[in-house]
Structure 1
Amino acid sequence: MKVAIGSDHNAFDLKETIKEFLGDTEHDVIDFGCYSKDAIDYPDVAFEVSKAISEGEVERGILFCGTGIGVSIAANKYPGIRAALTHDVYSAERAQLSNNAQIITMGAQIIGTEVAKKVVAAYLNVSWAEGSKRKIDKIVEKEKEFVSENFKSVVKDNNCC
């Protein structure tokens, strides 16, 4: 499976550790940054990973920041993306099994390295069973409704069409 990975500067070390951990697996890992401890804005990385998933470049993503909250919020702004904040094995499994989350997020200031490895392994070793398909379909339909309404508003505001 192709997996995107990314972080801000606060989580650079954890991202690098997880990237190395995944290098020992069958997964193909694509690093979307950051590439040093120089300060960057986490939404930029979260949006790039979300875009790669939306365009089919990768199948899943793993994002890190200080708490995992910021990258989760940013990734979830991207249409069609479901990102789940996970700091334990059970929530990582459920992110995929129940919610078909394409991205999990973690906080480097919250989770330890060994637990993070277990969370990542749990997430990548399960597939969506469509048991909650009805619920996910509702989320997808509401998102389409919001995107459609927003598009109409943008067109109207720009005196177009």
Structure 2
Amino acid sequence: MKMVKDKQLLMGADFAGYPLKEEVKKYLEKKGWVIKDIGVQADSDPNDTELMFHRIGLRVGSMITEKEYERALIFCGTGMGIHIAASKCPGVHAGVVESVPAAFRAITGNGVNVLAMGAFYVTPELGKQIADAYLYNDFGSGWEWWPDFKRFHQIAIDELNAFDYKTYKENGFKVKHIDDCECRLYDRPENFSPVPLMVKRGND
């Protein structure tokens, strides 16, 4: 599997997401990231229907499912459609974000392995900051002050990965518990930052 710690990343965009994808891609490549781009390119044929947002989303999702890549960034006009498609693939936890704190929480709290952005709403500069917050943080990091934060969210990831709708329905629409953890919120420490300093990777 090509890993984020080795600065290896999968990307994909449709025609609407292409401009934002290009800006983020160039930014990351300048920082030493090696990117596999399977979406729309500068010379792509607009009549190539394999480049519809949902088909690109499914292709990216399948490459995460098959463990070719650990994480991916995907782009369409809103980020919604392409992320819905990627989420159809087993083991894909996709999220759409439009802010830096949301990108930080997506990876640290939800273990999102496919992050989507919408070019209609996210500026290139914001897209770069979102990419940094997502790629330079890891699941559970930055929340050490919150008891069982990582365990609580790992339970959700494990149960969603094991989810089968037929079994769920037969069980009266109750999920089989893999583990359990107290559900409560904690006050943030006074010195808490919603986006901690990024962990350096490679040449950054």
Q: What amino acid maps onto 2:134 in structure 1?
A: Y
1:26 aligns with 2:32: yes
Distance 1:146 1:25, change over 3 A: farther
Write out aligned runs for 1:93-108 (5 A): 93-108=104-119
Aligned length: 147
1:20-70 C-alpha deviation (Å, 9 max, x unpaired): 011022322110111146263111111111111122221110010000000
Correspondence for 1:120: 131
TM-score, normalised via structure 1 length: 0.84
1:13 aligns with 2:34: no
TM-score, normalised via structure 2 length: 0.67
1:137 aligns with 2:148: no
Distance 1:124 1:148, change over 3 A: same
Correspondence for 1:59: 70
Contact 2:61 2:88 in 1 (8 A): no
> How far does residue 147 in structure 1 lie from its aligned partner after superposition?
7.9
Distance 1:16 1:148, change over 3 A: farther
Correspondence for 2:84: 73
Runs (4+) off by over 6 Å: none
- Structure with higher Rg: it is 2
Q: What amino acid maps onto 2:21 in structure 1?
A: K
Distance 1:147 1:56 in 2: 26
Structure number with the higher helix fraction is: 1
| Aligned alpha-carbon RMSD (Å) | 1.8
Correspondence for 2:144: none
Distance 1:147 1:26 in 2: 45
Q: What amino acid maps onto 1:13 in structure 2?
A: P
Distance 1:103 1:147 in 2: 26
Distance 2:54 2:113 in 1: 17
